[in-house]
Structure 1
């Protein structure tokens, strides 16, 4: 009997050890796969390897094929996932064919990642289709916008205009009822400052299955805004750092925080840039579209004025883009012979009246930098045949503004259109207001902003832009809710633009 008892005890012990092992075992590819910054002959592939020992140098194999079953593997190689890069892996694959879908995967030990799908940019095409998104706050609700886009077919890429994450510690009063419904709380629960802080927030986002599915299906073209760093930041700091609970912030501390945020961004976002390179860059889709992604936040922006009076004093030398970036943008558009030019931009170009005080100059938007704005509008006015369209993030609400030359928003000449998608999940202006207040706000906006073509202050949305030789089609899609994962999708607004051609 004793022998039987000890035998059973040993079996139970081994079984318990096996169960503990299973609980501790980590999926090495728990953050999925992604691709980004496609070119006609190449694309960047991304994954993260979760290891048991954080000091481990993980040997990873990557493969890219023409078919999802990997019968036709065209390139493969080994690489390393290193602690110094948070075990993120980024591979630039070149020598690819234009306008071609590819499948890719990663292998670590005996584990294989999910299969990602990506595609190169076209050299010749009749149509270019892009999805435009921005402002994805984890605590704001479910990423139904990402889910809806991942279920669409026929896109060339997804363009993210910034605020991919939010740096706040969470639990802000407007979001508490939402958190109670969804259970989505920010990790870590304090403001992001250290490199590890930013890494943890990206990990939280990249565990989201809806975001993973989107990255798995389409290449993404990203640009950052302020919340990848800190709210309303500029190249030299942010007002919220002075004397608040994070401490007395000096330039060295702000520069360190920017360095931390930038490194985490470079690690976790599928972007093809060296750490010291500027993030503004362009993408050419055959002879149809030239996409220019701007940095209106970190590289070149001088400090925002704190009042209209202060703006008058600094207007002559304050800058949003900096001369170098403005020169680059003008050169990119001037020297490209595509029919359409799309500018991916973080802050609103349009001048607008807001609220009871007729707020007309928004100091954190383009209107807070009149020198750069005047030069930019002048460039638009002088180049009508370049068919420039602007798409803007940051504002959370969905807008379509006509951009007019000069400072006359009532009778100026139309020089471009500006389209802002609603947020993925960040709070919208009208969501907490009564129906009566929303009606009042709407009437106020329409009355005071005759250059405003369409807007929505409540729903979360994205834009599908389709470009052909004869038309640019702009469609706004709204999800019915972000407070539960079951939702419906509807097309809320459509607008088409005919191209202007250079006269002989």
Structure 2
């Protein structure tokens, strides 16, 4: 018998017994693998749920010297099973794969023929050992109308900056359908190059900045040994995209601000190595695109929601430089998305029949400028001084540095009458809620949607960069930002944590939760804020998290 997984059933369970108590039954599924299971020491994971399919993943350690990135170790046969029950009395699908050094002994299986809207359990067997049991779930049927969906939303997890308490608290919940990871799943820096408030809490492996395929494999493997991340992967499917740090800081199609070809070799080689390791180690369903790999993709959750996951690194032009470079911000030839991805995104939004059009968006799309200007009245000012038409961008790495692409997207949304578009964003280590007016100087005017930005799991916040105690120096900055950018409804620049997005026919609501101390592996948690977007409406505050 398949386990039906309706949102109403899960909410009743949480209300009746508490999320931690209910999730306790699943703790055995997600026990850290490396402690007593040397073959499957990197755990198990699942991802990209479809109504009839899901990716399952593991890595097999075939010998003690067959460490990640080593290229050592013989091939091994890995059997996998997917069942409708935790005891595997009813096997739904099974098969065998081969783990080889060519893929760093990782195994990734796209399991098909599954039933929609159901919980499944999965496991792997190799070299006489069984992996931890993972739990996953398929998306609702395309024509189904689920009462609700709930996603954990995360980004920016720097190993050296702290412990992944945000992942632990997400794993303690029993009401989530999936985890949406918006990028910077790992960081490329060498030891001590980019820590947190108190420096490096735990050292990166390898010690150097990662550049080669072996380097990237070793770093991915290290992150997969974290017990909180390992447990969360085993409990829920992940839906991921990459941002810059999966390759190198502020990367673009032809390089990175931190990449020196004279020292580190051709950028194309480094990018290919980082992409290969990512696709080996992550439960992501990628497709071929010419000579490269395409990870932008779309997932449907019945008639309630459609999620478009973007790739905002592989096709973008180089970020403009301050000063004379400001003139290039409005250049219509510059792109963030690339033409093919923009066409795919706008066509998908225009044709979507889902109530909510969600966009997994690694960098902030809401304007953050000083001051926000009205392009219709500032042409001479722009011509004389070279200031972008909408104002000076604070961060040209975001959509603010590629205003022509943002205008194309907004125009497609408004001209096709697309409603209920919500962007889910990471990257900037802070929390934001924003309306998306077509003209930022007129926040009450026509809107292209709304945006929720989630904080970092551990990566340094503004307050930490300023070496200021929490909720001191950042507070006046937050108020100043909101005062100048009136479309911004919430700004919190200090805290680490995650978001929980609830989607119903009536509204989408984002609840921000913040960990108390990233240097404490058992850190507590607090509710930070909640904002909702009613169907057909504008952003509104909420006093309590969705229940």
Alignment partner of 1:433 is 2:444: no
SS in structure 2 opposite 1:426?
coil
C-alpha RMSD of the superposition: 2.3
> Within 5 A, what are the aligned runs for 1:272-311?
272-274=285-287, 276-298=292-314, 300-311=315-326
State the 1:187 CA deviation.
Answer: 0.6
Q: Which has the larger radius of gyration?
A: 1
Separation in structure 2 between the aligned mates of residue 24 and residue 492 of structure 1, nearest angstrom? 35
Query: Structure 2: how far apart are the matches of 1:104 and 1:401?
Result: 39
Q: Is 2:387 the counterpart of 1:374?
A: no
Task: Report the counterpart of residue 402 of structure 1 in structure 2.
Answer: 435
Residue correspondence of structure 1 range 218-257 to structure 2 within 5 A: 218-242=236-260, 247-248=262-263, 253-257=266-270
Is the 2:419–2:449 contact (alpha carbons within 8 Å) kept by the matching residues of 1? no
Q: Over residues 311-351 of structure 1, what are the superposed CA-to-partner deviations in whole Å (9 max), with x where a residue is unaligned?
A: 42471311001111111001111222110000000111111
1:175 aligned partner: 196
Pairwise CA distance, 1:89: 0.3
Q: How does 1:411-450 map to 2 (within 5 A)?
A: 411-431=444-464, 432-434=467-469, 436-450=472-486
Q: Distance in 2 between matches of 1:258 and 1:173?
A: 21
Contact 1:37 1:220 in 2 (8 A): yes
Contact 1:141/1:178 (<8 A) preserved: no
| Pair 1:26–1:112, CA change in 2 (3 A) | closer
List structure 1 segments (4+ residues) > 6 angstroms apart after TM superposition. Answer: 23-26
Equivalent residue number for residue 62 of structure 1:
80
Distance in 1, matches of 2:368 and 2:36, equals 55
- 1:462 maps to which residue? 498
Matched, 1:139 2:163: no
CA contact (8 A) 1:143 1:482 kept: yes
1:105-154 CA distance string (max 9 Å, x none)? 01112211100000000112221111110001001101011111111112
2:535 is aligned to: 499
Q: 1:350 aligns with which of 366, 374, 389?
A: 366
Q: CA deviation at 1:309?
A: 2.5
Tell me the residue number matched to 1:114.
Answer: 132
Q: Is the 8 A contact 2:462 2:474 kept in 1?
A: no
Which residue is 2:59 aligned to?
Answer: 48
Q: For the structure 1 residues 441 and 68, does the alpha-carbon distance in structure 2 shift closer, same or farther, using more than 3 Å as the test?
A: same
Q: How big is the shift at 1:26?
A: 7.1
The number of aligned residues is 469
Aligned to 2:69: none
Aligned partner of 1:340 among 347, 351, 356: 356
State the TM-score, normalizing by the size of structure 2.
0.82
How far residue 378 of structure 1 moved from its aligned partner, in angstroms, is 1.8
Secondary structure of the 2:196 match is helix
> Closer, same or farther in 2 for the Cα pair 1:222/1:494, shift >3 Å?
same
Aligned to 2:396: 363
Distance 1:24 1:333 in 2: 46
2:276 to 263, 270, 275: 263
Q: CA deviation at 1:359?
A: 5.0
Q: 1:173 to 1:375 in 2, by over 3 A?
A: closer
**Aligned partners of 1:205 and 1:25: how far apart in 2?**
18
The CA deviation at 1:451 is: 1.5
TM-score, normalised by the number of residues in structure 1: 0.88
* SS of residue matched to 2:94: strand
Q: Distance in 2 between matches of 1:450 and 1:24?
A: 51
**Deviation of 1:25 (Å):** 10
State the Cα distance separating 1:352 from its structure 2 match: 1.5
Greater shift after overlay, 113-122 or 461-470?
461-470
Cα distance between partner residues in 2 of 1:99 and 1:45? 17
Residues 351 and 361, structure 1, Cα contact 8 Å, conserved in 2: no
Distance change >3 Å, CA 115–CA 162, structure 1 → 2: same
1:152-208 CA distance string (max 9 Å, x none)? 1121111000000101113036537242xx4x1111111111000000101110000
Structure 2 residue matching 1:90: 3-state secondary structure: strand
Question: Within 1, Cα distance between the matches of 2:339 and 2:392?
Answer: 28
1:177 counterpart SS class: coil
1: CA distance, partners of 2:506 / 2:284 = 31
Stretch moving more, 224-233 or 364-373? 364-373
Residue 486 of structure 1 deviates from its aligned partner by 1.9
Partners in 2 of 1:25 and 1:402 — Cα distance? 49
Alpha-carbon distance in 2 for matches of 1:168, 1:256: 18
In structure 1, runs of 5+ residues without a counterpart are: 1-22
2-structure distance, mates of 1:463, 1:128: 14
> Are 1:156 and 2:177 an aligned pair?
yes
2:375 corresponds to:
none
**Structure 1 residues 168 and 146, CA, compared in 2 at 3 Å: closer, same or farther?**
same
CA contact (8 A) 1:178 1:483 kept: no
